[in-house]
Structure 1
Amino acid sequence: MPASDDGPESSPLLQASDEDAESREQQKADVSKWTKVAIQNAALAATFLVLYAFADILRYISTIRLVELGICREHFLQRDPQSEEDYRNIPEHLCKLPSIQQRLAHLRGYLAALEAIVGLILTLPYGLLVDRFGERLVAGINVVGYLLSCAWIIVVCYCWQVFPIWSVVLAPLFRIIGGGSPILSSIIYSIAAKSTPDSSRQVIVPPRSHPWI
């Protein structure tokens, strides 16, 4: 009667050696560690996001005042077209009339809606461009669009004799260059996540409310 070979047949064909197991454990330990490059990238990403948010707040405050001044100027010029030079710079307390504030609220709503539409439509196309050309190039293009958007608001408010104040609502169209704020934030978070150890990636990021609302 032949001898039973159940022992060898039931054993796994490939047995992991102690060296392989130790190697895998070492790789897992290395992945979970913060490297110097990871710390630098995370610090730069956090610094950029903080500075960008601070700049966005300052831009929002100054833009609201400029738009309010433009609406106020048009309001008083409609009543007295001959006193154009007198309304070049109107005190802020004179611009708190309900009709002026109502129009200001409408323009803020249009700005918020148009900027949201731009970000919604261009998220996918610029996401594909990030995969093809890299994060840094797309982030640089996004900053250019941001600067052009700010420059347009300044030009409209400064050249108030040429452009009507409602022209400021066209500023978000310049964010087509780069895809808007959602693309830039996603790129920065992606750069930070790639350098972050797997064990530290489960970080809850609070949603960022829109500045125009």
Structure 2
Amino acid sequence: MALRSRSASTAAQARETDPLLRPSSRENTALSGPRVGRLSIFALCVLLVTIGDFGIFLVTVPQTRLYESIACYHYYELHDPSRIGPGGGVAEKWCKVAPVQAEVAFVRGYEALFTFIPGVALAIPYGLLADRWGRKPIVLLSMVGILLSMTFTLAVCRFWQIFPLRLVWLAPVFTVIGGGAPVMFSVILTMIADVMPENERATAFFRLMTGQYLAQITATPISSSLMQSHGPWLPIKAGYICAFLAFLMACLLRETANPRESLDGAVETTEEPAATTDETLGLRAARRSKSRVELQARLASLWDRTTAMVRHDFKVIILILTFFINAVEEPTQSLNLQYISERYGLSLARAGFVISIKSAATVIAYMVILPGASWLLQQKLGLSDTRKDLFLARGSIIVLSLGFFIVAWSPTVASATVGFVISTMGRGYGNLIRSLVTSLVPARFTGRMYTMITVIETFGLLLSGPLLAALFRVGLDQGDVRWLGLPFTVAGVMGALVTVVICWIQVPAHVPRTAAEEEEGSATSVY
């Protein structure tokens, strides 16, 4: 009889040092092998995210226009059918009325809510599966769910005369497969943390985000141009193709996690001796009893492992909780198009060009300003990695909040564009805090910390999406365009609260590390 197992006592005990989603050890070939191997994994992750986001941004503007045109048709069908042209189309200039825009904001807000529910509910389970199965299978599952969700949304828009627009709220059901974008991005970040040493990690995160914004810079104006010349469906089809290409690229990823033993500790056999019926029933009953005991032990251990970071350093939890500002900032991105179009009387296609300016400023911030400030703080002022990250995080949240306030109260599209550009200087806040808390916690906590960050961000999105959409609707109901900036005012106030917290937090100049971590941190940076 062939056996491959641990002892029953070992199987029943889940160690506190096991993270929910742990970075692989230094024995992992990706980390301990040649630098070119590690960088190839990192480059593929960046390329995958960039191409995937390029497809998403190709779809964003025309999809908003489709939502608007569908809501516009149903509005004028009841109130003024003469506005409806051949084929059920309504000129975009007639779609800027408050009821239509309120419906689009309502649909978008709750679409964001339902989109991120799977991420909240499934982040930890898929994090555990990423430990057991590896990172790559979870990334692939997530992308399958995302593609199915996109397909459903496009089907509703294509057959709008059959399906109500609000049916798009069901599309996130498909992201139960893999947990959707939050889980996928969390696992990709974990893969990068697996292969990049500490002194390169923050820069690696910035490179990843830069790829996302390069995608937005190029995709948004391309999408707007295609909309003006060919209508909304051509950029949508191109975006779907890009998303599928990203899935094919994910198939090329190398696994960065170490193989691990089965979590259930069960004895695997290829052959068992014959047993009597009574013996079989007795064995099954014993196994069921043992399984219940092991399940209770694992649930207790899971709770201990999840709360271990709180017991280790409460400051880390405070820093992680400030990630909710990312959750507030993200829905404002989907409101940007509507806000610019409605307040300043621009078409959605022209509003897309304003968004591309904002994205270009973000890339400049990631590629020039933040790396330059990082070099200055370390080389000229002698700050440690942790204090440098904290200092930059404080500056980022201040300019982010300032940008929100400027956008909210700008009387012209030019001044609003300045506000958008200023706010982009603070888009590095999330990555800076991510790098900071990674340096503050022991390596055994890194995986569960990333999972917790994902849960905080996603839970914040569940609340902030409908909240900001409701605030935009309140602004529309006031009948004064100055009230349309209400969501950005609230976002600025929340940013100011985070500023107070982050300025109160203090971190040590140097964090004690293990010998292996010191060796990893001393590696020469290629950036």
Q: TM-score range by the shorter chain?
A: 0.7 to 0.9
Q: CA offsets per residue over residues 154-173 of structure 1, 9 Å max, x none?
A: 11111112111111122222
Q: Which amino acid aligns with 2:330?
A: S
Q: CA offsets per residue over residues 60-94 of structure 1, 9 Å max, x none?
A: 22221111111111112224679988352322212
Decide whether aligned partners of structure 1 residues 49 and 115 sit closer, same or farther in structure 2, where only a CA change above 3 A counts. Answer: same
User: What's the CA shift for 1:32?
Assistant: 9.1
> Residue 109 of structure 2 corresponds to which residue in structure 1?
109
> Residue 164 of structure 1 corresponds to which residue in structure 2?
164
Q: Which amino acid aligns with 2:115?
A: E
Aligned-partner Cα distance in 2 for 1:212–1:127: 28
Aligned-partner Cα distance in 2 for 1:66–1:172: 18
Does residue 324 of structure 2 align to residue 209 of structure 1?
no
SS in 2 for 1:138: helix
> Residue 197 of structure 1 corresponds to which residue in structure 2?
197
Matches within 5 A, 1:32-111: 35-79=35-79, 86-111=86-111
Decide whether aligned partners of structure 1 residues 36 and 55 sit closer, same or farther in structure 2, where only a CA change above 3 A counts. Answer: same
Q: Which moved more, 1:148-157 or 1:75-84?
A: 75-84
Q: Whose RCO is larger (CA < 8 A, sep 6+)?
A: 1
> Residue 441 of structure 2 corresponds to which residue in structure 1?
none
Q: Which amino acid aligns with 1:148?
A: L
Q: Which moved more, 1:59-68 or 1:83-92?
A: 83-92
**Number of equivalences:** 184
Q: Which amino acid aligns with 1:129?
A: L
Decide whether aligned partners of structure 1 residues 95 and 127 sit closer, same or farther in structure 2, where only a CA change above 3 A counts. Answer: same
Conserved 8 A contact 2:76-2:84: no
Q: Which amino acid aligns with 1:209?
A: E
TM-score normalised by structure 1 residue count: 0.75
> Residue 135 of structure 1 corresponds to which residue in structure 2?
135
Decide whether aligned partners of structure 1 residues 68 and 93 sit closer, same or farther in structure 2, where only a CA change above 3 A counts. Answer: same
> Residue 413 of structure 2 corresponds to which residue in structure 1?
none
The structure that has the greater radius of gyration is 1
User: What's the CA shift for 1:33?
Assistant: 9.2
Aligned-partner Cα distance in 2 for 1:146–1:133: 20
Q: Which moved more, 1:86-95 or 1:35-44?
A: 86-95
Does residue 300 of structure 2 align to residue 179 of structure 1?
no
Q: CA offsets per residue over residues 10-30 of structure 1, 9 Å max, x none?
A: xxxxxxxxxxxxxxxxxxxxx
Query: Tell me, which stretches of 5 or more residues in structure 2 are unaligned?
Result: 1-30, 210-325, 336-527
Conserved 8 A contact 2:126-2:179: yes
Aligned-partner Cα distance in 2 for 1:189–1:67: 32
Q: Which amino acid aligns with 1:152?
A: F
Q: Which amino acid aligns with 1:146?
A: I
The percent of aligned pairs where both chains have the same amino acid is 31
Q: Which amino acid aligns with 1:157?
A: C
> Residue 352 of structure 2 corresponds to which residue in structure 1?
none
Conserved 8 A contact 1:139-1:178: yes
SS in 2 for 1:201: helix
Aligned-partner Cα distance in 2 for 1:198–1:58: 34
Conserved 8 A contact 1:33-1:197: no
> Residue 9 of structure 1 corresponds to which residue in structure 2?
none
Decide whether aligned partners of structure 1 residues 178 and 164 sit closer, same or farther in structure 2, where only a CA change above 3 A counts. Answer: same
Q: Which amino acid aligns with 2:89?
A: N
Q: Which amino acid aligns with 2:62?
A: S
Q: Which moved more, 1:201-210 or 1:170-179?
A: 201-210
Conserved 8 A contact 2:83-2:90: no
RMSD: 2.8
Decide whether aligned partners of structure 1 residues 57 and 115 sit closer, same or farther in structure 2, where only a CA change above 3 A counts. Answer: same
Q: Which amino acid aligns with 1:140?
A: L
Aligned-partner Cα distance in 2 for 1:209–1:83: 35
